[in-house]
Amino acid sequence: MENIITTKNLYKQYSNFQCIQSLDLKVPHGSVYGFLGPNGAGKTTTMKMILGLVRPSSGAITLFGKMTTSKNRLEMLSQIGSLIESPSYYGHLTGLENLRIISTLKKVPEKDIQRVLSIVRLEKQEGKKVNEYSMGMKQRLGLAGALLGNPKLLILDEPTNGLDPAGMQEMRELICSLPQQYGMTVMVSSHLLGEIDQIATDVGIINHGKLIFQGSLAALHQKSSHQIAIRTMNNITASKILQLQGLACKEEQGYLIIPALSDERIAVFIQDLIHKGIRVVRIEERNNNLEDIFLELTGKAGAL
Ligand SMILES: Nc1ncnc2c1ncn2[C@@H]1O[C@H](COP(=O)(O)OP(=O)(O)OP(=O)(O)O)[C@@H](O)[C@H]1O
């Protein structure tokens, strides 16, 4: 089975608001699939549709190679762990007691509790009341609950929301370890480009309910346009010389930015600058980061 989740022509309409349109997702087996999009793009709604918590207006959802129907949904859900919005827990009970309740609901043997506590590194705090947990510990407890029963697929909605930088890093490391160590596929949503860049193997970018990119993280990076940054002792004259050569060039923080060209053409331009008495002090190659790529894809600044 190549894809763990496939959606075909998925739509969700809320009264007169088209929330999700023509969504064709492909979440590869063993991937960490980063589902990226600005607030309100439709990430939570999509995840809820996959989990059977929201009914699609139309379209099909295939999980583990089987089309979901009302008959097989429960069986499929038993193989999925999820953390949608903030985890729910009983604050006056301990972490262990909370996990006991989930294990009973999921019909998972109690011995699995120690395994998941150790994965999320909460063994030492299992006897503490959840009201006394930090935000990061609560989030890890939520993940532990999702991991009970060793699901094949984990669906996590913005799992680092509200965490401090150390908590975020810990959660990211945990997520990255799951496919390698436990053979899981993880679909994780975020509005943080840098976060997806750090953890995902595959990416789906959604904006206004439509998928605007889907593929490997490497393929996304390949979309990045390279640029050459040149710093000289006289950028004003240098920019005129480059423009006379027909080269589009803009100045940014003391550097002249030109499109990436072949080494040969760059060498010719630099030689020309030097011949005309311009002292060149820096030449650097620059890649657009994911934020630039997102802006290129959506054509919108400040979208995330
Ligand atoms: N039950 C509902 N009824 C009407 N509109 C809804 C409902 N649920 C979500 N929406 C709308 O659908 C759009 C997408 O919401 P959704 O929560 O899926 O986005 P999101 O990408 O998860 O955003 P966020 O990062 O803010 O959680 C929003 O405009 C939201 O207001």
- Centre of ligand 1 to C-alpha 262, Å, is 46
Judge if 142 and 235 occupy the same domain.
no
Judge if 173 and 255 occupy the same domain.
no
Judge if 146 and 238 occupy the same domain.
no
ipTM of this complex: 0.95
**pLDDT score of 302:** 42
Judge if 208 and 245 occupy the same domain.
no
First to last CA, the chain: 34
Residue nearest to ligand 1 atom 3, measured at CA:
14
Do the domain assignments include residue 221? no
Judge if 55 and 201 occupy the same domain.
yes
Number of domains in the chain: 2
Assigned token pair, 226: 């390279």
Q: What is the pLDDT along the chain (304 residues), one digit of tens a residue?
A: 699 999 999 999 999 899 999 999 999 999 999 999 888 899 999 999 999 999 999 999 999 999 999 889 888 888 999 999 777 889 999 999 999 999 998 889 988 999 999 989 899 999 999 999 988 899 899 999 999 999 999 999 999 888 888 888 988 998 999 998 889 999 999 988 888 888 999 999 999 999 999 999 988 887 766 789 999 999 999 999 998 888 888 899 999 999 888 888 889 999 999 999 999 999 998 876 667 777 777 665 444 4
Judge if 240 and 133 occupy the same domain.
no
Across 1-140, the runs of DSSP E, i.e. the strands, are 3-14, 17-23, 26-28, 32-36, 58-63, 66-67, 80-83
**pLDDT score of 299:** 62
Q: Which residues, at least 6 apart from 183, have a Cβ–Cβ distance to it below 8 Å?
A: 30, 152
Judge if 195 and 233 occupy the same domain.
no
Task: State the amino acid at position 52 in one-letter form.
Answer: G
- Whether the Cβ atoms of residue 188 and residue 35 lie closer than 8 Å to each other: yes
Question: What are the C-alpha distances in Å from 178 to residues 50, 64, 77?
Answer: 20, 18, 19
Judge if 49 and 134 occupy the same domain.
yes
Range of the domain at 268: 226-287
| CB of 204 sitting under 6 A from ligand 1 | no
* Burial (CB count within 10 angstroms: exposed 0-12, middle 13-18, buried 19+), residue 150: middle
For 252, the 3-state DSSP assignment is: strand
Specify the pTM.
0.81
**pLDDT score of 298:** 67
| CB of 40 sitting under 6 A from ligand 1 | yes
Do the domain assignments include residue 12? yes
Four-residue CA torsion sign, 111, 133, 48, 183: negative
Ligand 1 atom with the smallest distance to the CA of 37 is 21
Gap between the Cα atoms of 2 and 15, Å rounded: 35
Residue ending a domain, among 216, 236, 259, is: 216
Judge if 168 and 40 occupy the same domain.
yes
Judge if 70 and 127 occupy the same domain.
yes
